[in-house]
Amino acid sequence: MTDPIGPVDASRVPRFAGIATFARLPRIDEVEHADIAIVGVPFDSGVSFRPGARFGPSHVREISRLLRPWNPAQQVAPFGSQQVVDAGDMAVNPFSIDEAIADIEAHARALTQSGTRLVTIGGDHTIALPLLRATHAIHGPVAVVHFDAHLDTWDTYFGAPITHGTPFRRASEEGLIDLTASAHVGIRGPLYDQQDLVDDARLGFTPITSVEIEEHGVQVAIDRLLERVGDAKVYISIDIDVLDPSHAPGTGTPEAGGLTSRELLRILRAMAHLDIVGADVVEVAPAYDHAQMTAVAASHAIYELISAMAPRGS
């Protein structure tokens, strides 16, 4: 493979100028092959409280201009050791959840058919279901590491089976996830009933709560997570509300008592040796995001994911 085409040089072209691709990376049509494609899904018709995550992809891309080519924390050049591109946004129907889900899956399958891995910017968490369907078509059942304040394994909202609170129940029922290796990280806040946790365990998830992280520390959480995942292929799904509202106010269903951005990034860095086959970062809602705080956190989470997915020397 030829040397990867990297971001526009910020020392030559100011960050506030030019086309706002993610991290000012090349577009997918400018390269022959992509190892990783960043793709936006501006869809939020599955939300149950505050809307606005459909504007998340462009918001995150805008602040991602600040990212740089060398990651000292992971000791890797994420854009120099692999070809990373921006594949733009999927155009999906905002009036039909079923049609949107089908379109997202079809688009994801088309992007990944030649071996490209996706890192998706949402949009609400509904989009995780079609992305997991596309991932399963290639890899079979995968371990899902789900960062979120909420379980997202509820059954229905207003009788609707596919919403941002149900994707992982549907994924488990459809056999898309590895029931022995999946986990939630950062879960907190009130539930509808004690049965929620019973159902969640049956669906294949082990929760690592924010209370546990506070009481026992981040390293204990990392150790538990890595032991749970083992050597399985991994799909990472990050709802930005896993962070405390003081770090990520721009989201639809904020919950007090969340992780700090530093804790989230540390956990992501610890996953660098895993076989990560895809990822998403969802639920960034710009209308509630003063000073772009949430977009900063989301863009850095994506940067650490891309870095964790980069090849390492032997």
Q: Longest C-alpha distance within the chain, in Å?
A: 57
pLDDT at 19: 87
pLDDT at 135: 98
For residue 305, CA distances in Å to 182, 225, 272 come to 18, 16, 8
pLDDT in tens, 84-99: 999 999 999 999 999 9
The HSE-up count of residue 55 (CA atoms within 13 Å, CB side) is 14
The pLDDT confidence band at residue 216, using thresholds 50, 70 and 90, is very high
Mean pLDDT across the stretch 221-241? 98
Per-residue burial over 183-222, b if 16 or more Cβ lie within 10 Å, else e, is bbbbbbbeeeeeebeebbeebbbbbbbbebbeeeebeebb
Dist. CA 57–CA 228, nearest whole Å: 31
The pLDDT confidence band at residue 117, using thresholds 50, 70 and 90, is very high
Look at residue 18 and tell me whether its pLDDT is greater than 90: no
What are the sequence ranges of the domains in the chain? 22-308
Classify domain 22-308 at the CATH class level: alpha beta
pLDDT at 314: 52
Dist. CA 159–CA 267, nearest whole Å: 36
pLDDT at 109: 98
pTM of the model: 0.97
Mean pLDDT estimate for the chain: 96
pLDDT in tens, 48-106: 999 999 999 999 999 999 999 999 999 999 999 999 999 999 999 999 999 999 999 99
